[in-house]
A and B are shown apart, each in its own frame.
Chain A
Amino acid sequence: MDFTDTPEDAEFRAEVRGWLTANAEEKKPGAIYKAKYGEAALIPLSQEWQTKKFKAGFSGITTPLEYGGRGGTQIQQAIYDQEEVNFLVPRHIGSGIPLVIPTLLVYAKEEDKKQFIPEILRSDKLWCQLFSEPSAGSDLGGIRTRSERDGDDWVINGQKIWTSNAQHADLAILVTRSDPDAEKHKGLTYFYVDMKSPGIEVRPIKQISGMANFNEVFLTDVRIPDSQRLGEEGEGWRVAITTLMNERVSSGARPAPDFEDIFGLARDLEIEDGPAIANAAVREKLAHWYIQARGVDLTRMRTLTAMSRGQTPGPENSISKLVSAFKRQEIALFGMDLMDMGGGLMSRETTPMRAVFQEAALEAPSGRIAAGTDEILRNIIGERVLGLPREVRVDKDKPFRDLPTGV
């Protein structure tokens, strides 16, 4: 084992750090980026940053050169990510880099790859993910949005929900039901679609924080040329699995507040008898979060090593999301508890760390739901990692239209 860089890695790290120092502001403990996720102001900032990275060869580090990437290794990507978290930079917006590129690489035609992948890496075009439906979230195989073939086109009718960034997206990946008479996972077909197509209507949904970052998307007689199908007709489930596998390979960026932030708060904040960090009950919690945060980082590194040996990342990636999402919620709520009677105050001007704890308290619940709920991830770990038997399924071996829905 070697937790230090090889000479080549070290060189790459120095290059990255040098570039980041020249182009971004270093993060001080407790500092929070000026525009928050979900705010419209973030989008141009994110696009600008992404373009900069692209030009410097740091966007899509593992993506092949011919599609505008760097053609580098997973380790290099990890090094870049490790360095970038020390700077105040905007998040990438949409599903393009994490989900769409890996799916296009496997399923798209050469010309589509050549066109779309560089656009995504530069953030010229934003993508969203049209998967979930009102009656099909965890149970994605239960989607009902219909696709019917009409010559060289497909006609789509139905409704999607929870689509993050649909209001900003230029394109989308879309799963539909092309055959309701087949077993539920067998009648699906997968497309990409232009979000400006006639028949697509996007209605924002307000989140509990008051922001509206996700949407309902209604599809009425939307026509998609068959050339935009990804994978075979009826094999949409397989394509969707490729997409979702990548959903759980997290980049290592940890949305605040995380350990460093609560540690910073505990050092700064005076409680009844001195700085909070001197209180044993606080220290105990901090220790708990530190080993979790560090455990997740190190587990990710082990995965990287496995990947660099050619293994594919498996369901053990679920650990990272499961632990981090819950930890973030706990840290947010505990940060407020430490602020005691004033902990409910929520002003970016006066609340410590620009109210990151308060704002995160209203955002963190989604981390435990989006991209696989806590419960589903535990099922995945139980069944796919530990090999435990599956739940008794009542939705198998029957035509989709005959399944119980509760309504």
Chain B
Amino acid sequence: MAKKTHVTTTINGEETEFLCEPRQSLLEVLREGLDLTGSKEGCNNGNCGACTVMLNGLPVDSCLVLAVEAEGAEITTIEGIAQQGHLHPLQQCFLEGAALQCGICTPGFIVGAKALLDRNPNPTEEEIRFNLAGNLCRCTGYDKIVRSIQEAAERLQSAT
């Protein structure tokens, strides 16, 4: 068995330490080691976006990041999107807009959309579709996801 590496990182605002093997992905450590099972595994090779987390503010497929690469990084997972018991507007709008059916893609979409809105608070439909093209949804046909992200962007804008 490979020797384990010690990694110190910040996950959802909390300093977190873990031991991992060099071959383990960040997704595997989040899910198996840290019990953060909100990030989903749909393909384990960077093609579905179900495992999307924010790494230093940028969306990444956590199945393509080695856990050892998280040393010193700030990570946000779906578990860190709601704050103080309140849903984030994206989460609220996904619910109101029925933007999920089975919901397996939802954590990835919400984290990906949060990363987008952090950088671009007022994206066009085209920009939403382009930026989240790496997130697959097989259930919804995407329509209600686009609308829910647009609605959340509006609410976030009017709140500031």
A and B: interacting chains = no
B residues contacting A by CB (< 8 A) are none
